[in-house]
Structure 1
Amino acid sequence: MNRYIAEAAGTALLVFFGVGAAVFGLAQIGTLGVALAFGLVLLTLLYAIGPVSGAHLNPAVTVGFLVARRITATEAGVYIIAQVIGGFIGMGVIRLISTAGGVEMQVNGANSYGERINVGGAFLLEVIMTFMLVLVWLMVTRGNDVYAFDGLAIGLTLALVHLIGIPLTGTSVNPARSIGPALFGGSTALSQVWLFIVAPLVGGALAALAERSLRTSSLRTPNEPAPEVRSPR
């Protein structure tokens, strides 16, 4: 049960700090600042709750781990439910601060397409960005554990994909990050959220298939010590 609570709480914090950076500070910190906010909050959460649940905080990552056979279908299902609930809570707190605290929202935080990129381009972009994120995640980890510098590579990758995605779609790569803001964002956000659910899940699954081809049984992660070699007697 602790794993599922960690996934819900962690996703709520990811959405609050990442989306919150855009909602309350996009004009001040810009695209780079928002990208760093997402990357840094994921980095810290990977080390904080990674030992508990793996800190997926993202249904696309969980689907990647499922296809890679690192977790069971039951675990994946409960993880995803917890993540979606967490994303809704995180966005709900942002809205509460905005209304009760009298803080103006600069953007609504929802992902979108149509203004600078069409639906086909947005779908392809989200697949590619999620593929990159989940592939790095799977390649630098073993099992469901985050070890040593794994979190640094994953957090930097999330920041990287946000740099290209924010100007075009707002960057999802995470259905749980998109569903919460869409539920609060009005009819346009709700009509477009399907893309930011389906495309990341496709990208995550494709990354798991690619990882299976790239990794061999003897391939170590960058942080694993080399196996001890004993000299013959």
Structure 2
Amino acid sequence: MKALGAEFLGTFWLILGGCGSAVLAAAFPDVGIGLHGVSLAFGLTVLTMAFAIGHISGCHLNPAVSIGLWAGGRFPASQLLPYIVAQVIGGLCAGGVLYIIASGAAGFDASAGFASNGYGAHSPGQYSLLAALVTEVVMTMFFLIVILGATDKRAPAGFAPIAIGLALTLIHLISIPVTNTSVNPARSTGVALFAGGWAIQQLWLFWVAPIVGALLGALAYRWIGSEDR
């Protein structure tokens, strides 16, 4: 239960910090943090929580990561569902808190986006479904490779949170224009349910693509990271 509580709190922090920066601060008049600031915010949430709860739950904060770690032989199947439930609930609670805060401003309209992920007309750069699919699969694949590599017992000890946080920052710098960056079904779900409409209709992609990418990343690392010669 402590591990599940840690996953709940960690995922809450990820969505509140990352999506909160996008909703509240990205385009704030004259001093908005923009794409670079939002990218850094997502990376910082993972970096800080990895140091805070990594020793308690492993700091997955992401159903795709949990599934990828299972496929990579680092996580038991029996814990997959409880972890995913805790992550999704954490994301939804963070989305609710963010909704309450954001709705305190005049003219707020969650249906305009609310940091939701999308493709086609709802992609920041109007990218197609195929482009969004490929982006999410590839970004999540490399995210898992970094996670598995940085936490390998042969890797330098104590530096994994930094590598993983910076990897997530880089992923956002690349893919915010395409999908607003998911690589995390809990992150997508946490805000989509408050945005409603199109965000819920397109949510399927941001479950399927990250999970496929995570499985590919796990398979790739099991091959390159094998100690067999």
TM-score for the superposition, normalised by structure 1 = 0.88
Q: Could you tell me how far 1:119 is from its partner in structure 2?
A: 0.7
Tell which deviates more after alignment, 169-178 or 70-79: 70-79
Distance, in Å, in 1 between the alignment partners of 2:35 and 2:157 is 29
Which string of whole-angstrom CA distances, capped at 9 and with x for unpartnered residues, describes residues 14-61 of structure 1?
000100000011110110000000001110000000000010000111
Asked whether the 8 Å contact 2:6–2:53 carries over to 1, the reply is yes
Distance, in Å, in 1 between the alignment partners of 2:57 and 2:73 is 16
Counting only pairs closer than 5 Å after superposition, residues 120-135 of structure 1 correspond to structure 2 as: 120-135=130-145
Percent identity of the aligned residues?
Answer: 46
Aligned alpha-carbon RMSD (Å): 1.8
Distance, in Å, in 1 between the alignment partners of 2:157 and 2:120 is 40
- 1:165 is matched with 175
- 2:76 is matched with 72
3-state DSSP class of the match of 2:178? coil
Structure 1 spans left out of the alignment, 5+ residues: 220-233
Q: Could you tell me how far 1:171 is from its partner in structure 2?
A: 0.1
- The answer on 1:216 being equivalent to 2:220 is no
Which string of whole-angstrom CA distances, capped at 9 and with x for unpartnered residues, describes residues 154-173 of structure 1?
00000000011111110000
Asked whether the 8 Å contact 1:22–1:107 carries over to 2, the reply is no
Q: Could you tell me how far 1:218 is from its partner in structure 2?
A: 7.3
- The answer on 1:87 being equivalent to 2:91 is yes
Counting only pairs closer than 5 Å after superposition, residues 28-177 of structure 1 correspond to structure 2 as: 28-99=32-103, 101-102=104-105, 104=108, 107-115=113-121, 116-142=126-152, 147-177=157-187
- 1:180 is matched with 190
Asked whether the 8 Å contact 2:144–2:218 carries over to 1, the reply is yes
Distance, in Å, in 2 between the alignment partners of 1:124 and 1:184 is 26
TM-score for the superposition, normalised by structure 2 = 0.90
Distance, in Å, in 1 between the alignment partners of 2:157 and 2:48 is 13
Q: Could you tell me how far 1:216 is from its partner in structure 2?
A: 2.5
Q: Could you tell me how far 1:69 is from its partner in structure 2?
A: 1.7
Distance, in Å, in 1 between the alignment partners of 2:224 and 2:127 is 32
Aligned residues: 216
- 2:9 is matched with 9
Structure 2 spans left out of the alignment, 5+ residues: none
Asked whether the 8 Å contact 1:126–1:200 carries over to 2, the reply is yes
- 1:223 is matched with none
